[in-house]
Structure 1
Amino acid sequence: MSDIQAVVGAEAQELGDGRTLSNRELLRALLRKPQFVVCSLLLLLFFLMAAVPKLFTSVDPRFCELTKSRQGRSPGHLFGYDIQGCDYFANVVYGARPSVLVSICASFGVFLLAGSFGLLAGYFPGFVDGLISRTADVLFAIPGIVVLIVILNSVQDRSIWIIVGVILLIGWPGGMRLMRATVFSVRNREYVLAARSIGVPPLRILRKHVFPNAMAPLLAMTTLGIGGMVGLEAALTFLGVGLQPPAISWGSQFGVAASYRDTPHLFIWPALFISTMTISFMIIGDSIRDALDPKLLR
Structure 2
Amino acid sequence: MSSAAPPKGASPKTRRARHAKSSGRGARTARPAGLWRDAWHDLRRRPLFTVSAVLIAVVLVMAAVPSLFTSVDPYDAAGCVLGDARQGPSAAHWFGTDNQGCDTYARTVYGARNSVLVGLGTTVLTALAGGLLGLVAGFRGGWLDAVLSRVTEVFFAIPSVLGALLILSIFRTGTVWTVTLALAVLAWPMTFRIMRASVITARGQDYVVAARGLGASAGRLMFRHILPNAIAPLIVVSTINLGVFIAAEAGLSFLGLGVQSPDITWGLMIADARARFHEAAGPLLFPAALLSVTVLAFIMLGDAVRDALDPKLR
Aligned pair 1:90/2:106, yes or no? yes
| Stretches of structure 2 lacking an aligned partner (at least 5 in a row) | 1-31
Which of the residues 179, 187, 202 maps onto 1:163?
Answer: 179
Question: Quick one: distance in 1 between partners of 2:190 and 2:36?
Answer: 27
SS for the counterpart of 1:54 is: helix
- Show the counterpart of 1:192: 208
Decide which of 21, 26, 30 is 2:35's aligned counterpart.
Answer: 21
Q: TM-score, normalised by structure 2?
A: 0.85
Give CA deviations for 1:24-43 in whole Å, capped at 9, x if unaligned.
Answer: x3222111111211111111
User: Which segment is superposed worse, 272-281 or 287-296?
Assistant: 287-296
The 3-state SS of whatever aligns with 1:295 is helix
Percent of aligned pairs sharing the same letter: 40
Q: Tell me the secondary structure at the aligned position of residue 125 of structure 2.
A: helix
Q: Which amino acid in structure 2 is aligned with residue 96 of structure 1?
A: A
Q: Map residues 56-205 of structure 1 onto 2, 5 A cutoff.
A: 56-61=69-74, 62=76, 63-205=79-221
Pair 1:33-2:46 in alignment = yes
- Secondary structure at the aligned position of 2:168 is classed as helix
Query: Which one has the largest radius of gyration?
Result: 2
Q: d(CA) in 2 for partners of 1:135 and 1:125? A: 15
Structure 1 stretches of at least 4 aligned residues deviating more than 3 Å after TM superposition: none
SS at 2:128 equivalent: helix
Partner of 1:266: 283
Gaps of 5+ in 1: 1-16
> For residue 12 of structure 1, what is the aligned residue in structure 2?
none
| Residues 1:275 and 2:313 are matched in the alignment | no
| CA–CA distance in structure 1, aligned partners of residues 131 and 110 of structure 2 | 33
CA deviation after TM superposition for structure 1 residue 271, in Å: 0.8
Structure with more contact order per residue of length (Cα contacts < 8 Å, sep ≥ 6): 1
Relative to structure 1, is the Cα distance of residues 91 and 116 closer, same or farther in structure 2, using a 3 angstrom cutoff? same
Question: Does the 8 A contact of 2:191 with 2:234 survive in 1?
Answer: yes
CA distance in 2, matches of 1:292, 1:277: 23
Taking only aligned residues, the RMSD between alpha carbons, in angstroms, comes to 1.5
| CA deviation after TM superposition for structure 1 residue 217, in Å | 1.4
Q: Decide which moves more: 142-151 or 92-101.
A: 142-151
- What SS does the corresponding residue of 1:22 show, helix, strand or coil? helix
| Corresponding position of 1:45 | 58
- Secondary structure of the residue aligned to 1:259 is helix
User: Structure 1-normalised TM-score?
Assistant: 0.90
Q: CA deviation at 1:168?
A: 1.5
